[in-house]
Structure 1
Amino acid sequence: MIIDDEYPARVLLNDYASKLPLLQVVASCKTALEAMAVLREQTVDLIFLDIQMPELTGLEFLQSLTHPPLVIFTTAYADYALKGYELNVVDYLLKPFSFERFVQAVNKAAERFQLTQSTPSATPSPIIQSEQKSFIVVKADHKLHRIAYEDILFIEGLREYVAFHTVSGKVITLESLKKLEEMLPAETFIRVHKSYIVNKKKVKSLYGNQLDIAGHWIPIGKLYRDEVVKHLFS
């Protein structure tokens, strides 16, 4: 749930959340009183909470909850950071914050949420290996995406998430590059950096320590350079 009295802030948080398959926005509220009504009707696992709001501040709202869900503060004021940690909030996002910083906060929330679950291993993997060799099925945005190997340009690691950069766009899912490196066919894909796997067939050129893939410059890690040159340019 998003609680923020500023409309642009709610729009930004909704946009950020829509990019992560782990999140589903169940409500976007402009006041804490609206949020209280939502909490009476349904269960919420995580709240993105502004502090300076009319009628009831974020701090007052949080302190009023007997069993609060996980909370990430989103505020333009750094003065409340200590109070936030006293209230055991997951993270403190200081506006304006980037998508990368948002992902870091969500990762913290996910880790804490898993600790509260009795059977975290029961959660299915968002990556489903296809029996065929031509595509992979990815769970993202509450949908199953069938991504053909030939359409993948490169895969970027975002800590606990990965982004599939394809010829038609980007798909972000909860997974690790290490697991993908083991799953994807080695004749088509190669790890070139701790944060990147690339489609060998999409590499156009090598310039210094970077690969040109459809106009994207992908860095090559020092530990991977010899293997990259051997498999792609020898």
Structure 2
Amino acid sequence: MQIRTAVLDDEPLAVELLSDYVEKTDHLTLVEASTDVYKVLKMVQQNEIDLLLLDIQMPELTGIQFMKIIGDSCRVIITTAYTEYALDGYEFNVVDYLLKPISYERFTKAIKKLDQPLAGKAGSTPQKPDHIFIKSDYKLVRIPLADILYIESLRDYIAIHTTTAPQKIMSLESLRNMESLLPAAEFMRVHKSYIVAMQKISFVERNRVVINEQYIPIGESYQAKFFSVINKS
């Protein structure tokens, strides 16, 4: 079984070296090698990564902050030039802690540890995510899925309407990417400009859904799938 592996580091030379290690290691498939924190974060949220080689000292978001956000969404091997973060790393059940410069021999020893179960989690199944993180106004905003009413496309932005935020949450994101982040059993695209939380629908009237007194159109190309789901519920 191939392990989908990503490299995240703010140093291009480190990204290049670790990518080379991944590509010549059996059972590892390099799916991303990047200095872009938010790009890799989105891939983790979309369940596209099994193993992440993660730097600690990065300008936009530290590796520790990154691990707090993703939880146990994927396995992590820390790669850093600093020893003082070792204790923090192991609190997150990291696979290993590699100090730069990293030799290929040391890298392969870390990879062999992937066969070991997570401490205290043997036989457990991954928990269903109950939130997403969205970049808004240079911040990563945590949004519980249960709070989302609907999501609206506004040209280059999306507006996330929730039960708790006094104002809609704006993000430079696409509705297509949001659709891939959200669980299909709970959210549905009903229009080219709208995704709705199915449990938040008050009623359906003349090809429109009503959520929190807001009328949202059901696009013609989405109607068959929507009413098929509604009729089964």
| TM-score, with structure 2 as normaliser | 0.47
TM-score if structure 1 supplies the norm length? Answer: 0.47
